[in-house]
Structure 1
Amino acid sequence: MAALSGAFGAGLVLMAARISLHKAQKAGQVPDLALTAALDTLEEVQGHLRRLTDEDVAVFRGYVDATRLPRTTEEEQAARRAALDRAGEAARAAPLETAQACVEALEQAQACLPHTHPEVVSDVGAGAALLRGALEAALLTLDINLRHLEGEERARLQARRTGWSARGETLAAGILEDTRAAISRGA
């Protein structure tokens, strides 16, 4: 459900961007290009996170189905191991993809924040907080699925995990700090 939380977070940032764009147009101002570009990208990322929600359910179902395969004969055992390997690969790929999408949404939130209308600036911060939580949830799911993997593949995925975690944490912390500052100065 990390992807669903991420979709909600991206949705809050998207809502703030849309409102800010509408208010700028209503005031006769030319909308900032960074805001309109971020809005387009946020729509794509939010849609991707929604699709990942369904994929996560399918991945888990595939794993459960693989664990229920018979294992009486050597052929059945081999088929079960192969199915579990495929399910494990999918169970590692899905949370990594979710983490990446959360970081992409955080990047767009950072781009939107300076151009966000003061009345909805808190929504960018709230969206970033949800995205940070979704990122952490996705990475915890990855962590549990890395336990059964060894060697070079584990090291490669762990490096990606570490990168997404560091990037997301830096972005979220900065957005939250900037949001609080904007609120306290009356943006």
Structure 2
Amino acid sequence: MTTSVHTVLDSPCGPLTLVAREERLAGLYMTEHRHQPAQETFGPRVAADDLPVLKDAARQLEAYFAGDLTDFDIDVAVTGTPFQQRVWAALRDIPYGETVSYGELARALGQPTASRAVGLANGRNPVSIIVPCHRVVGADGSLTGYGGGLERKRWLLGFESSSRQPTLI
């Protein structure tokens, strides 16, 4: 059996629980996160500095929330079906500050009729923010389900959109 450990970080969108397993990030969950595993599976709580992957994730999340990082480079270990793995990999290709619809993501995966399945896989993403499932919206641009709650999805999209605005020198 693989041992997990976790840490909790403060962030502008509330506490984030980071779970590490086998020296890789296995989860990033928000308060009242839908589809999160039982907290008993997170393992003991440690300081972020106690494990290199947690320290790196904390550093990159801090840079992201400061507006200084737009693309995460963290080794993740997520468990899911082959289809879920494909969806989660495709999510990492959505550029910072941009959105795609579930249908567009399904077409990018070569399965144009699978938008509902893409939505279900998206909702099961265990590494929110780092694997940016918040960047997927409804066909009409509306905000639809998000594991961390629609208010957080709205905040994350607004944050990314506002930090992309050019500044005048």
TM over 0.5: no
Looking at secondary structure, tell me which structure has more strand per residue.
2
- Which structure features the higher share of helix residues? 1
Bigger Rg over Cα? 1
Q: TM-score, normalised by structure 2?
A: 0.26
